[in-house]
Each structure stands twice: as structure tokens, then as C-alpha cells.
Amino acid sequence: MALLEVLQRKIHKYGLVPKLIKALPIISLVCALVGTGWILYLPIDGQYRKTYISENALMPSQAYSYYRESEWNFLRGYRDELHNLVANSTIERNAEVKNYLTEAGYTAAEHHYTPSNANESGSNVYGILNAPRGDGTEAMVIVAPWTTSDGTYNENGIALAMGMARYFARWTIWSKNIILVIPENNQFALRSWVKSYHSSLDLTAGSIEAALVIEYPGSGDYYDYLEVSYEGVNGQLPNLDLLNTAISISEHEGMKVSLQKTPKDQIGENTYWSRLTVLFNGIKALALAGLKRSNGCEVFSGYRIQAITLRAVGDNGSVDITTLGRVIEATFRSVNNLLEKFHQSFFFYLMLAPRNFISIGTYLPSAVFFSVAFALAALSEILNCGLPLPVLVGSGTKVLLTFLSITASSLLLGSLVLFFPVPASLIYYTFLIFGLIVASLPTKQLLLAALARPWGKSNPANPYIQLASSAHLLHAVCLLYASLIITSILVVNFSLAYTMSICMLPLTFVRPITLRSSNYQENINAVSLLLSCPFFIVLLIGILDGDFTNGPVEVMQGLLTSWKDFDCWTWSIVIVGWIPVWIGSAVCGSLIVDESEYGVVDLKKDL
Amino acid sequence: MVKGYAFVLALGLALELIMTILFPSFSGFLDSAVEFSTPVTSWRSIEEGIFLLKHNIDPYDGGVVYHPPVLIKLFSQVKDLFGTNTTSWRIASGLIFQIADILTSIELIQISKKFLREYKNPKQGTYTVLIAIFYTFNPIKILSVLSNSSIIFSNLFIASTLYSMVVLENVALAAASLAMGTYLSYNPCFLLFPFIGMVINLKNHLSPCSSIIKSISVALIPFIATFTGLLYCSYIINNNNWNFLMATYGTNIFFTKINPNLGLWWYFFIEIFEFFSKFFIGVFNIYNLVYILPLTIRFQNSKFSNLQINNKYLIFPFVLSYGFVVLTKAYPTLNDLGFICQLLLLLVFQNDLKILKFLRYPIVSILLVIHAVILSPIFYYLWIFSGSGNSNFFYAINLVYSLGLGFMLIDFIWSYLSLEYLFEKNNGKEVDYDAKLRLTQI
């Protein structure tokens, strides 16, 4: 305590408090820059860590894998049969596969579901191999969808999965049940299977510990390299041990592993730039998870299932199809060793390279800095606006009510939009145009007319003071709220928190204009509002991200449907946390002009 | 404006009642939320007790019921009125809690009004309405009332103690209220010390030469009489069995029901620390008491204004002590936070809002508490439901919450001491409260 006292005395002596208060906007900006820079700093040598297997029971690649050429004939047999089914309907295909499964000794069943946007129902087929050893309360899942995420026929994938299923049935070592699922696709169809498995399916096999989604389109015998995806929705990731196990087994089998769709020629690289690329692609993928329908492992989110997707890429490489079989076999044997649920290692991490990662403690400060930056900006808005505190507090109730109603209406409209039977494109362009109008200059007068009147009334003698104080306070409340939102999601979904804070950062530059403010302030406000408009960001994502073939409309579609399809929270966070802050700041930025209507008075002098 | 605040309270009651009627599962949801419900305060446990009592099974045998027998007996009597109509019983039981909460608010508002009147504050009416709004529409308060947590009754009796002391100046009634609060939830027993201090001070003001022994006995005799009376009633109700003592007070003291909650205790009783658990029980029970006596003694004769009202009612150590009890108790909930905020507001009005001027870091403590309140369900979710977090996440946020609450209390002490310092420096003359104090230590 003595040290604190000395510190406090020094602070008083040098009058640091007022100086610090004056510098608050700069401190806030510095915090934001540190937050951004932090991530750039992490891929530097010495900042990241090497992956390791934390759970000793896993023992990846310790047992010899027997899935070799002897099994190739069965695999080819299945593939030839499946090749003939390309033109058939899913019902016919499923009936056929169900036969294979029953023949192999599996208890097979079909699962019917109704897609959210169609009338006809789809169906998935799955089979269960009861564990020869063990009590059958746990299960491992292997998934091979009929269509891969690119929309191609997953011929090799299903043939391999069937071959594996047949092969697994001959082993007596399994202490966990094995479930083979062949869904129509690895998106909504698989999600509804996972949902039903945990609620209504008759044929189940205990709690699912791990799931592998296999994608291998085409009918060749060879492939180039393996792509591993691991992002779940709402910031959930599979336990790092599972990912490490899969990567270590794959590399042990002599194939190259690509994370975050690193192209073939860059896979072996491990430089600062390659790590940074993987890191940023990872953040982007996790922030957009659920919106982008591509992996298949995200559908297992929310049920404590560790899931990854293995995707064989290319068809003229040096790795043959049984190698992928051995990867699956060895991974299953590792998981089979587990006596407890995955609990060691990390659930929160960012990958830099297949064998390098950063853990939560290292990257979290960057989002914390953003949160602090917003809080400081809010504080600066209150302390540096030149109005005495009582005047500001006086407009507190009004401002809080205003902000509350903005949030409530955003939430209401945002949730109603989910149920509107209108195409996403219409909703999107309406919102985008609204955003552009609000951000641009001419409407300010319009907004004023609507909002200034009730705000100005309470103090008829000098109404602009009330107005100015309300504007400042509203902006402060918005920024504080933004800080709160970022803090609350930063542990759950760091990537979303980080992306959102960067997008919202321009809002801290929106300033009410007084006589003291510069001539450019109005333009700064407009640009800031435009840059941080959620729908403008959607536009940017749609244009810049090649995975969204339909552009921004597809992003919007993802935002709107992911709530119902995947229980993904991104849209709700946007309508609760982002849009209200943006509208509040826009209102605050628009109200400024009104001061001139009352005849601009230097507030400081007048008070 | 009396109508004004009554209107606000009625509006709050209506809102809560409507929520009870429209969302039948909401109170059950809150009752299962770790922030609003602990084994010793939960509504499920009361209902279990009613059921067991009705079937002539000893409620304290199974380790499910931790509520005192009189409370369960009363609720069971009320439930009998409704027969098998579960919907109306649900609404009626909700209403009982809501009315208890409204009574608490009314008592505390009356105290504030007395202070405001004494200061001849020109904005009396506005302030009363503002207090009522703060009391009624505080989201934490609304949620805690809807959670049907039995701590609400205990809070009611603590408020009654203050009300009887300040507004009625009836020591016997106050002592009896405190005894009832103690009977219901154990922790208020620590308030006996500041309460005796309050009584001595009040007696001194009413008749300056009254003896201390007499004051203490005036406070203690009704307290002990009520408390033993209630215990004896419980003994009779519980089929002449004392086992309820261990289930109710024993659980609070020995922390036999180890559940995660907002408090500081639970983490130390998890399995890997089992070796130390006896030591921790000792430490935490001492920690419960350790702030109380110093606070009581230090503020016993403190003066910072000529005004009679400040010196006559020593509510400051009482409220602060309860703050520290909440900070250190075994099974705290957010309900306690709501109640502490209500009590702290009393201190603000006792000093005619001057105490607000000398708070050093109100923004920090408020932000800490808000962040903790928002993050705690999120971290609990990560630990229990999504499985990607662990207990350390949740306990870390409990520490932040306690830090925020502690900051709040310490800040009030600092501000109070600053006022006292100003008053003493000016030898009791009128004090300029707008003076900029540049103190680092008092």
C-alpha cells in the first residue's frame, strides 16, 4: 500500500490526472493500435508455441495401421457400385448404402428431416457398430456426405468410409461405438441429424466423443495433400489434442497437411508471412463460421463433440487413398484409447502452422485492448466535451431511454427479419441503402428535425446545451456499450470480438461539432459511419471473399439463416451489439449541426 | 409526490406480476441460474420442504432442504389454501415474494424521505420518485424477485430493522426484526454488533445520561427472546427434533453443500483441496466476522455535521457491515448485490448526497460489477455447457465481482472519512463541501 500511496502523491504533485484526461483520445487510439498490432506480433519467432499431445492416452501412430493394399479391393468395389448411383435419387442411394451397412454387421437406420426452405423432406442414413469391448456409452463418428462442400459427388469419400466401416467391424479392439453417417450434405442435413441424435432418434450409441468428416471427391486412387478444417460456430473449436493427433498422424503417414486452405506450393513454408496468413485466415474463418457453409465440422458445435473435417485435395498426387484410411484408422484408435472426455490441452487457440499454435492467454490481450480503447473513448467523450458533469448527468435518463429504445427496436426488427418471407437480397439492399443514407451528410438535418425537438424542450433558456450534452452522453453510452459487448464475447468468440472491434473502431472518431472542432469533422463523421456500418462491411466481405460466390447477398443470407440452421449467434450479436451502437453514434454525429441552427455559441464561454 | 412513488412501486409490482403470469417457466429458469439461486435460498428447496412436510417425512433428513422450518410451515399453510390448483399457487407464491420486495422498498424509501425532510431538500419529491424508480426497475432487482429467492424475506427484515430504528425509533421492534432476519438466513447475525452500536448511540441522543449496559440489554433482550422463540417454534414444528439447526445454520457455517456460486468460498472446497477444507472453513468464518467489529468501533462516535440526523442514526457501520457480510458470505447471489445497492443509497441520502462528491473511483467499481454480472453467466456456460472453459474461468469472474463490490464499499468508507475530516478541520463550523480535497491518506 505504501507504494500506491507514493504513486498517488506523485500523481497529485505533477497534476497528471488532468493531463491524462486531455490525452484520453490519444490513449484510446493507442490502445486500439496495440490491439491490432498485438496479433501482428504473435507470429514472430518466440511468441508462438509448438503443438504437443497433452493427453498421454492418445498415443498417435503408436499402433501399426493395417488398412493397406489388402483392403483396396473392397474400397474399389464400393466405389464402382457408388459410381453407378450418381444419377439416382438420395432415397435409392440410401437404401443401397443401408444394405452395405447391414451386410457389414452394422445396425442401420434412416433419419428424415425437413429443410427450413423446402417442403419435401430429405433423408440421411447411418449405421452403428456396437463396441466389442466397453459399455457402449461413448461413440466415435465418421461422416461422409453425398455431396462435398464444393457440391461435387463425394464418391471416394463414401467408398472409403464404407471400406473403413467394413474394416472396423472385423476388429475387436473398439471400446467406443462407431457410427457411420452418410448425410445428404454436410450442412443442414448433417446438422439436423446431430440435433435429432441428441433429441429424438431411436437408434443411438451414447455420447459422441469425436467426429471426422471425410471429403474426397472423384474416383482416382491418388491425391495431393490433406486439408484439415476445424472451426465451429460461436467460436467453438475442437480440442487441440484431436487436431494435433490428426495432423501428427497424417504427417507421420507422409502426406502434406494444409490448414486454412493454404495452396499446395505454400504448404511446407514456415515463415512469418505464412504464419500470419494462416492466423488471419483462421480468424476470418472463425468469425464467419456458420455464415459460410463449407466445412461440416461446425455442425457438431454445441454438443461437446470434437469434430474436424479431412479433405483430400487433388487427384494426381503421390498419396494413395488407403493412406487417408490409415489416418482415419489411427485417429480412431487414439480416440478409442481415451478413458475420459477430451479435457486436457486447449479449447481456445489459433493455429499458425500445422505444428504451431498460440493459446488464449497470448492472443486475448489484443481484444482486451480494444475493449479498453472503447471504454476510454467513452470516458473521453464525457470528460473532454467541455460540459459540466451535472449538465451531462441531467440528460442521463433521456439518453438512456433513447439508447434503450434504439437497442430494443434493433433487436425487434432484427428478429422479425428472420421470419419475413422475403428474399435476403431485398432485406440486404434495404438495410444497405438505409445505412448509406444515415451515414451520408444531407440527412442530418432530417434526423435533427425529428430528434432535436423533444430533446431541446427541457431547457428552453438554452436548449442547445441540453442537446449537446445529450449528444455527447449518447455517444459515450454507445461506446461504453460497445466495450461491454466486446468484453462479453471476447473469450467465447475471440475472432468475432476482434473483427467486430476493428470494424467498430471508426465510431470512436465520430465527434459532435462545436465551434472548436475542425472543418473536416463532418466528413470524418460520415466516413467513420460508413466504414463501421455493418451492411457496408457485409458488402466488403461479399466482394473480397471469394468463397461467397453470390457476393454480399450470400453473406446476408448466411447471417439470416445461420441462426435457425446452426444455432449461430452472429446475427443476434450484430443486432444487439453492433447496430444499436452504430445508430446511436450516427444520431450523435447528426445532431451536431443543430447547434448551428441555434446560432453557434462557444459552449465553454457560455457555461 | 407521495402518489408518485407509490405509483412507481405499483407499476413495478404490476410488471413483475404480469411476467409471472405470462412466462410460467421464467422463475424456474432463474431459480436454476447460479447467479440467482443457491441451495440455501432456492425456491425449489422450499417446495421440496413443503412436499416432505405434507407427507410427514422429515425434511432435513435428505440433504435437500436448507430453509428454516417456520418458513416452510408458513408456505405450506398458504399452499393448502390453493389445493391442487398449481397455476394459482405459482402466481400467489410469486406475489408473496413481490409484496415482500415492495415492502422492503417502501421501508427504505421512508427512511430516505425522513433524511430528505430533515435536510429540507427542495427536490424531495423528485428524489423520492427517482429512488423508487431505482429500487423498482433495477434489472437485477426484478430478476431476483422473479427468482423467488428466500433471501428476499431476510432482506425485508433487515430493512425493517433500519426502519424501526430510524423512522419508528422503536428498539425492541428493530431487535425483533433483526432476530427474524437472522433466523431466516443466518448471516444477519453479524449485524448484531453494529446494531448494538446504533442502539447505544440512539439512546444517548434520546436521553444523554443513559447507561451503556441498559442500552445493550434493551437491544439484546428482544433479539434473544425472538430468536429463541423462533427456534423453539421450529423445534416443535419439526417434531421435537433439533436436526434443522445443522441443515440450516450448519450448512452456512460448514459449507456442507458445495455448489458453485458468486461467492469466494466454493472454489476452496473442491475435491483437490479437500485436505485443507477444515482450515478453510475456519478462515472463511473468521473472514466473515473480521470486518464487522472494527467498522462498528471506528464509526461509533464519528461526527461530520452539526445536523442531528447524521449523528443520531448510525446506519453507516450497519450498512457497511452488511456489505462486507455479503462480500464474504458462503452463498451469495445477485439478490444481495441489489439489496446492498439499495442500502448504499440510504447512505447517500443520509448525507444529503455529499458522500457522492468524495467517491474516488465510482466508475471503476461500477464497471467492474457490470462486467462481472454480464460475464459470469457466459463463463458459467463455457464451463458447464460448452465444456471449453473450466471452473477457473468462473471463479476468476467471481473474484472480479468481489473486487468490484469491495471497491464500492471501500470507496464509501473513504468518502465518509473525507466528510468527517472536513468537518473536524473546520471545528464544526459550516463546511464548504465543494472544496477540492487533495488527500492521499486519512
* Of the partner residues B371, B381, B387, the one whose CB lies closest to the CB of residue A304: B387
- From A68-72, A355-359, A589-593, B35-39, the region with the lowest mean pLDDT: A589-593
Which chain B residue's Cα is nearest to A303?
Answer: B386
What's the whole-number average pLDDT of chain B?
88
The closest alpha carbon to A223, from A245, A250, A259, belongs to A250
Residue numbers in A near B393 (CB within 8 A): 491
pLDDT for residue A363: 93
Q: By percentage, how much of chain A surpasses pLDDT 90?
A: 48
Alpha helices of A296-395 — where are they, by DSSP H? Answer: 321-337, 360-383, 389-394
Q: Does some domain include residue A449? A: yes
Q: Does some domain include residue A6? A: no
Q: What confidence tens digit (pLDDT) does each residue in B253-301 have?
A: 999 888 899 999 999 998 888 889 899 999 999 998 999 999 999 888 7
Domain interval for residue A432: 21-43+362-606
Which chain B residue's Cα is nearest to A235?
Answer: B388
Distance of CA A163 to the CA centre of its chain: 34
pLDDT above 50: residue A598: no
Residue numbers in A near B381 (CB within 8 A): 492
Crossing angle of helices B315-328 and B334-350, rounded to 10°: 160
Q: Please indicate, yes or no, whether residues A223 and A314 belong to a single structural domain of this protein.
A: yes
pLDDT above 80: residue A115: no
pLDDT above 80: residue A493: yes
Type of residue at A114: T
The closest alpha carbon to B262, from B28, B41, B25, belongs to B41
Answer whether B362's CB lies under 8 Å from B344's CB.
no
- How large is the average pLDDT for residues A463-475? 74
Q: Does some domain include residue A460? A: yes
Q: Please indicate, yes or no, whether residues A195 and A229 belong to a single structural domain of this protein.
A: yes
Q: Does some domain include residue A279? A: yes
Task: Indicate yes or no: CB of A379 within 8 angstroms of CB of B387.
Answer: no
Q: Please indicate, yes or no, whether residues A26 and A65 belong to a single structural domain of this protein.
A: no
pLDDT for residue A2: 73
Which chain A residue's Cα is nearest to B134?
Answer: A397
* Of the partner residues B381, B382, B438, the one whose CB lies closest to the CB of residue A12: B438
- How large is the average pLDDT for residues A411-425? 86
Q: Please indicate, yes or no, whether residues A83 and A209 belong to a single structural domain of this protein.
A: yes
Type of residue at B366: I
A153 vs A606 pLDDT, higher one: A153
Q: What confidence tens digit (pLDDT) does each residue in B198-239 have?
A: 998 888 888 877 788 888 888 899 999 999 999 999 999 888
Q: What is the DSSP letter of A147?
A: B
Q: Please indicate, yes or no, whether residues A249 and A386 belong to a single structural domain of this protein.
A: no
pLDDT above 90: residue A295: no
Q: State the nearest Cα–Cα gap between A128 and chain B, in angstroms.
A: 26
pLDDT above 80: residue A165: yes
Q: Which three cell numbers stand for residue B246?
A: 445443522
pLDDT for residue A459: 46
Burial (CB count <10 Å: 0-12, 13-18, 19+), residue A593: middle
Positive or negative CA dihedral for B277, B283, B289, B295? negative
Can you count the helices (H) and strands (E) in chain B? Answer: 20, 0
Task: Indicate yes or no: CB of B374 within 8 angstroms of CB of A484.
Answer: yes
Q: Does some domain include residue A95? A: yes
Is residue A209 classed as helix, strand or coil in its secondary structure? strand
Q: Does some domain include residue A89? A: yes
pLDDT above 70: residue A452: no
* A12 interfaces chain B, CB cutoff of 8 Å: yes
Task: Indicate yes or no: CB of A487 within 8 angstroms of CB of B382.
Answer: no
- From A304-308, A418-422, B225-229, B413-417, the region with the lowest mean pLDDT: A418-422
Residue numbers in A near B375 (CB within 8 A): 487-488, 491
pLDDT for residue A194: 93
- How large is the average pLDDT for residues A195-215? 92
- The residues near B224 (Cβ < 8 Å, ≥ 6 apart) are B179
* Of the partner residues B363, B378, B389, the one whose CB lies closest to the CB of residue A488: B378
pLDDT for residue B268: 92
Which A residues in the span 506-565 are in contact with B, Cβ-Cβ below 8 Å? none
* A237 interfaces chain B, CB cutoff of 8 Å: yes
Instruction: List residues of B whose CB lies inside 8 A of any A CB.
Output: 363, 367, 370-371, 374-375, 378-379, 381-382, 386-389, 393, 438, 440-441
pLDDT for residue B337: 94
Region class of A151: left (phi > 0), else alpha (psi between -120 and 50), else beta: left
Positive or negative CA dihedral for B237, B239, B240, B241? negative
Q: What is the DSSP letter of A65?
A: P
The ranges assigned to domains in chain B are 2-352, 353-430+438-442
Among residues A329, A354, A379, the one where a domain terminates is A354
Q: Rounded CA gap, A237 and A230, in Å?
A: 6
pLDDT for residue A606: 37
* Of the partner residues A236, A484, A487, the one whose CB lies closest to the CB of residue B388: A236
Substitution target in A491, A569, A573 with the highest count of B β-carbons within 10 Å is A491
The closest alpha carbon to B108, from B333, B338, B327, B300, belongs to B338
Of the pLDDT bands very low, low, confident and very high (cuts 50, 70, 90), residue A505 is very high
Q: What is the dihedral of CA B144, B149, B150, B153, to 10 degrees?
A: 20
- How large is the average pLDDT for residues B174-179? 95
* A492 interfaces chain B, CB cutoff of 8 Å: yes
Q: What confidence tens digit (pLDDT) does each residue in B342-381 have?
A: 999 998 888 778 888 888 888 889 989 999 999 999 999 9
* A302 interfaces chain B, CB cutoff of 8 Å: yes
A132: domain CATH number? Answer: 3.40.630.10
Task: Indicate yes or no: CB of A237 within 8 angstroms of CB of B388.
Answer: yes
Q: Rounded CA gap, A450 and A458, in Å?
A: 16
- From A54-58, A277-281, A419-423, the region with the lowest mean pLDDT: A419-423
Residue numbers in B near A375 (CB within 8 A): 367
Among residues A354, A374, A393, the one where a domain terminates is A354
pLDDT for residue A602: 41
Q: Which three cell numbers stand for residue A300?
A: 457438431
Q: State the nearest Cα–Cα gap between A305 and chain B, in angstroms.
A: 9
pLDDT for residue A595: 43
Task: Indicate yes or no: CB of A5 within 8 angstroms of CB of B386.
Answer: no
Of the pLDDT bands very low, low, confident and very high (cuts 50, 70, 90), residue B305 is low
Task: Indicate yes or no: CB of A492 within 8 angstroms of CB of B440.
Answer: no
Report the DSSP beta bridge partners of residue A229.
Answer: A309
Q: State the nearest Cα–Cα gap between A465 and chain B, in angstroms.
A: 22
The closest alpha carbon to A165, from A78, A63, A265, belongs to A78
pLDDT for residue A219: 86
B438 vs A285 pLDDT, higher one: A285
Answer whether B250's CB lies under 8 Å from B330's CB.
no
Q: What confidence tens digit (pLDDT) does each residue in A25-81 have?
A: 899 999 999 999 999 999 999 889 999 999 889 998 888 888 988 888 999 999 999
A375 vs A518 pLDDT, higher one: A375
pLDDT above 50: residue A603: no
Residue numbers in A near B389 (CB within 8 A): 347, 491
pLDDT for residue A349: 93
pLDDT for residue A42: 92
| Count of domains forming chain A | 2
Q: State the nearest Cα–Cα gap between B217 and chain A, in angstroms.
A: 41
Report the DSSP beta bridge partners of residue A113.
Answer: A122
- How many contacts, defined by CB atoms under 8 Å, are there between A and B? 38
Q: Of all helices (H) and strands (E), which one includes residue A449? A: helix A443-456
pLDDT for residue B369: 93
- From A124-128, A196-200, A445-449, B63-67, the region with the lowest mean pLDDT: A445-449
Of the pLDDT bands very low, low, confident and very high (cuts 50, 70, 90), residue A518 is low
- From A141-155, A217-231, A233-247, A450-464, the region with the lowest mean pLDDT: A450-464
- How large is the average pLDDT for residues A267-276? 91
* A347 interfaces chain B, CB cutoff of 8 Å: yes
Q: Please indicate, yes or no, whether residues A299 and A231 belong to a single structural domain of this protein.
A: yes
pLDDT for residue A593: 45
Task: Please give, one letter per residue, the 3-state secondary structure of A75-113.
Answer: HHHHHHHHHCCCCCCHHHHHHHHHHHHHHCCCEEEEEEE
Q: Please indicate, yes or no, whether residues A301 and A185 belong to a single structural domain of this protein.
A: yes
Q: State the nearest Cα–Cα gap between B363 and chain A, in angstroms.
A: 9
Q: State the nearest Cα–Cα gap between B238 and chain A, in angstroms.
A: 43
Among residues A337, A354, A371, the one where a domain terminates is A354
Q: Does some domain include residue A12? A: no
Residue numbers in B near A8 (CB within 8 A): 440
Task: Indicate yes or no: CB of A491 within 8 angstroms of CB of B378.
Answer: yes
Q: What confidence tens digit (pLDDT) does each residue in A121-147 have?
A: 788 999 999 998 888 899 999 999 999
Report the DSSP beta bridge partners of residue A180.
Answer: A127, A142
Of the pLDDT bands very low, low, confident and very high (cuts 50, 70, 90), residue A250 is very high
Q: Rounded CA gap, B283 and B279, in Å?
A: 6
Which chain B residue's Cα is nearest to A237?
Answer: B388
Q: By percentage, how much of chain A surpasses pLDDT 70?
A: 90
Q: Does some domain include residue A7? A: no
pLDDT above 50: residue A378: yes
Q: Please indicate, yes or no, whether residues A410 and A513 belong to a single structural domain of this protein.
A: yes
Q: What confidence tens digit (pLDDT) does each residue in B29-84 have?
A: 888 888 899 989 999 999 999 999 888 888 888 788 999 999 999 999 999 888 78
pLDDT for residue B1: 45
Residue numbers in B near A302 (CB within 8 A): 386
Given the C-alpha cell 405434507, which residue does it identify?
B54
Residue numbers in B near A484 (CB within 8 A): 370-371, 374
Q: What is the dihedral of CA A271, A275, A278, A284, to 10 degrees?
A: -140
* Of the partner residues B381, B389, B441, the one whose CB lies closest to the CB of residue A5: B441
Q: Please indicate, yes or no, whether residues A186 and A76 belong to a single structural domain of this protein.
A: yes
pLDDT above 60: residue A457: no
What's the whole-number average pLDDT of chain A?
86
Task: Indicate yes or no: CB of B386 within 8 angstroms of CB of A348.
Answer: no
pLDDT for residue A177: 94
Of the pLDDT bands very low, low, confident and very high (cuts 50, 70, 90), residue B308 is low
pLDDT for residue A119: 58
Substitution target in A240, A342, A347 with the highest count of B β-carbons within 10 Å is A347
Give the total residue count for chain B: 442
Of the pLDDT bands very low, low, confident and very high (cuts 50, 70, 90), residue A596 is very low
- How large is the average pLDDT for residues B326-343? 93
Which chain A residue's Cα is nearest to B397?
Answer: A488
Residue numbers in A near B362 (CB within 8 A): none
- The residues near B116 (Cβ < 8 Å, ≥ 6 apart) are B124, B127, B128, B349
Output the DSSP codes for B152-163: HHHHHHHHHHHH
Task: Indicate yes or no: CB of B382 within 8 angstroms of CB of A491.
Answer: yes
